[in-house]
Structure 1
Amino acid sequence: GQGLSWGHLGQTFLAYIILTVIILLGELVLDDFLEAVVINPVFPEVTTSFGWLTPEGTGRSINLFGHAGALLFYSSVVVFLYYRWRGPLNGKKDYAWRPIWQRTVKRSKSSTISILFLMGMAIIMQHAGMTQLLAEMMSEYTGRLFPTISPVIGALGAIMTGSNTNSNVLFTTLQQQTALSLGLAVAWILASQTAGGAIGSVFAPAKIIVGCSTVADADSGTVLRLAVISGGVIILLLAVVMTLMTLFGVV
């Protein structure tokens, strides 16, 4: 087959270089310019049938042209135009952009839908007072042991949903409110949440299955078992670290 040259390797990594440059420009150089259009939605006061009140106020502002998604879009357009001009790396004359676009849309459907529903569920739980009630219950029954189980909660969220991002969407507010109820350092608790989620996503069944699908004759059961053992040890170490930090008054 055709050998891999340094030129081909550089062309392969060029997309990531362009992505990095555009993000740095957008965040550090052109941030004021990109923030020219910011959407600040205002939501009315909402009261549930159980008396939980969410006061009127603005939601999270949306930086239309400087949002992380917008920067990714700019990067995608630049990379697409470059490769469209240069042609495919395998030497073929035709640049089959349509199948690439179709595969991208197909593969992103499930994750996009899941994130939308998870975000909706998390916001409903927050505005209905469910998250606050769960936080009060956890603070009552776990007390000062809560930092120990904080990374475990993050890991369980990632295992259930398949990613650290989704775990944070589900449980960040819960962990934050529980930490506030117990008088704990919120930053450390949230760091524990996302650290546990990062490790838990390593052996999330959804990711294991997707990864094994790219390798012929891969045994997803064996991979999952080995990943659970190694990931479980790391989560246990995180729990021990959080316990020690609690005992020494850091958290």
Structure 2
Amino acid sequence: MPAFQQIVDPLGSLALGAGLAALPLILLFILLGVFRAKAWKAALASLALSIVLAVTFWRMPVGQALSATAEGAFYGFFPILWILINALWVYKLTTETRWFAVLGATIRSVSGDLRILTILIAFCFGALLEALAGFGAPVAITAGMLMAAGMKPLKSAAVSLLANTAPVAFGAMGSPVIALSGVTGIPLATVSSMAGRQTPFLALIVPLLLVFIVDGKRGVRQTWPAAVVGGVVFAIVQFLVSNFFTVELTDVLAGIAAIAAVLLLLRVWKPAQTMTSDGIPVAGEPEFIALSPDSGGASQRGGATTLSGGKDRGVARLTQPSHVAVGVPDGATRPAPREIWMAVAPYLVIIAVFSVSQIPAVKSWLTAAGGFSFSWPGLDVVGSNGKPVSSQIMRFDHLKATGTLLLISGLITLALYRIPVGAGVRIYLKTLSMLRWTILTVCSVLALSFVMNLSGETGTLGVALASAGGIFVLISPVLGWIGVALTGSDTSSNSLFGQLQVTAASHAGLSPVLMAATNSSAGVLGKMLSLQNLAVAAAAVGIEGLESTLFRRLLGWSLGLLALLTILVVLQTNVLAWMVP
């Protein structure tokens, strides 16, 4: 098979070539943002267009274009979706039993203060859920838990969306940075280290913003010790684990450490006042209706009881998720110690399994027994510099893969919870069914990424953007932010723009490692504005149709945090260049 050499300027004009190369991305954004098409439909349409452009203008042989598509789809499933599927399965093993409710009751029994619960549930526990599942699950779960604790629906959704920022770059057991490493060829440890030197700064700020949203300046003044302790501990552990341990456990350990730190603080400190309810609803915002377990479907508001089929104006009818305890009173009884240990057992099992896998002897055996590299069949791609493109070499580690270790953790959890094997299989199939469109979307987006990267389309875009010179350092964070805001996934954004960031950085004289990691770190700030996550949050608290209200509430916070991160990235190109590995 003759080698295919990439072309940087297929039309004789770099500007026209870049515009042509951007068409698949533009189509993706228009279908998602304007026509609100399903993500999998938009991804497939953009993939088809990128294949046509690769063959027609970049002169990539049809066979190699199709082979690149297959490689991208395969990489989307293994290792990325293999992580998500098994992580979500472990989580579902808790929600399908009573142990998730026990965990929620444990957290709610710690404090009756909504501001403290916001830090514990939305920030700390949400980070733990992001580490295990990601893809909207933390937002849905924490929003429902906050609403059950007494927070108004709209505020619950907004708080949960904003909290779902700092952990996202390492969410779903490190899927975003794993994908970034795969499409750029930068070693995973290097990408992880750089991202771990950016996102912890967000963790320092986010808890303070959360209590400000819940209770304004008074909330910050009265609860800043808890916000600072939770943020600082999370940031430190996130940095240490991502740089010196293992990327997959970054948010697991950071989330658990932050929860433990806040709980220890509460033993010696309490806020001056306790905020036990969400106050009087502002004009135009639905009130919170606590459904009474004994009301037979009735709802209670201000001492009056209204049947759930009523027509009260301005009141949102809410359906609580089955796993959320409803109407939990302040100071709820804490479960027994044995039940608490059982509730956190899956997370402890995951930590233990991943820790054992990092023991040098075990790690070497797993690599030797189940790992190998191979050239993807049907591909022979040479870059414009005459060197083979690295992304056509596939590494397959089926034993030490994150998804496999999660599968082992799930099997241990299955035995620990005494769930019948048949029930475990049914839960697994249910998980697959729930993720069927996500699976198609991720595979399509990764296929699109590989076609654009291997055909040279991404290279053309990167060279064109590099013409901005040093100003590209300001463009880089915005690209990541836009990618996640439109696709709803940091993994997808990294797959689309990761190689583009590296190419542009190389031509602009900037650090490819810094710009690649920035795509992921800045991308997390766009997640709170993505249509998918807004819809998930609104549905979780029963305010479907108010997604635009949520968007307006969060836009300023998202842009403000993006500006702060951009300043950090600019400093890391010069004054703080020592932070770049």
Fold conserved between structures, TM > 0.5: yes
**Which residue does the alignment assign to 2:471?**
145
Closer/same/farther in 2, CA of residues 32 and 103 from structure 1, 3 Å limit: same
Matched, 1:31 2:363: yes
Query: Aligned Cα RMSD in Å?
Result: 2.8
- Give a deviation string over 1:56-82, Cα, whole Å, max 9, x none: 876131111011111111111211222
Report the CA distance between 1:196 and its aligned residue. Answer: 0.8
The 2-side partners of 1:169 and 1:55 are apart by 20
Closer/same/farther in 2, CA of residues 151 and 41 from structure 1, 3 Å limit: same
Decide which of 484, 492, 498 is 1:166's aligned counterpart: 492
CA contact (8 A) 2:462 2:504 kept: yes
Matched, 1:42 2:369: no
Percent of aligned positions that are identical: 21
The 2-side partners of 1:162 and 1:80 are apart by 31
**Structure 1: tracts of 5 or more residues without a match:** 88-94
**Which residue does the alignment assign to 1:80?**
414
Report the CA distance between 1:124 and its aligned residue. Answer: 0.8
In structure 2, the residue corresponding to 1:61 is in which secondary structure? strand
**Which residue does the alignment assign to 2:397?**
63
**Which residue does the alignment assign to 1:91?**
none
Report the CA distance between 1:186 and its aligned residue. Answer: 1.9
Correspondences of 1:1-251 after superposition (within 5 Å):
4-6=334-336, 7-29=338-360, 30-35=362-367, 36-43=369-376, 46=380, 55=388, 59-85=393-419, 97=424, 100-140=427-467, 142-217=468-543, 219-246=546-573, 248=575, 250=577
**Structure 2: tracts of 5 or more residues without a match:** 1-292, 294-324, 326-332
The AA in structure 2 aligned to 1:155 is W
- Give a deviation string over 1:36-91, Cα, whole Å, max 9, x none: 1223222455369xx99784876131111011111111111211222235x8xxxx
Larger CA deviation: 21-30 vs 70-79: 21-30
Report the CA distance between 1:22 and its aligned residue. Answer: 0.8
In structure 1, the residue corresponding to 2:541 is in which secondary structure? coil
**Structure with greater contact order relative to length (CA < 8 Å, sep ≥ 6):** 2
The 1-side partners of 2:509 and 2:517 are apart by 16
In structure 1, the residue corresponding to 2:358 is in which secondary structure? helix
CA contact (8 A) 1:122 1:169 kept: yes
The 1-side partners of 2:573 and 2:400 are apart by 39
Larger CA deviation: 223-232 vs 55-64: 55-64
**TM-score, normalised via structure 2 length:** 0.38
Kindly tell me the number of residue pairs found equivalent between the two proteins. 240
- Give a deviation string over 1:160-207, Cα, whole Å, max 9, x none: 211111111111111011111112112221221111111112322201
The 2-side partners of 1:31 and 1:196 are apart by 32
The AA in structure 2 aligned to 1:127 is L
The AA in structure 1 aligned to 2:466 is S
CA contact (8 A) 1:209 1:220 kept: yes
- Give a deviation string over 1:229-250, Cα, whole Å, max 9, x none: 2111101112233334446483
Report the CA distance between 1:133 and its aligned residue. Answer: 0.5
The 2-side partners of 1:56 and 1:214 are apart by 44
Structure index of larger Rg = 2
The 1-side partners of 2:405 and 2:399 are apart by 8
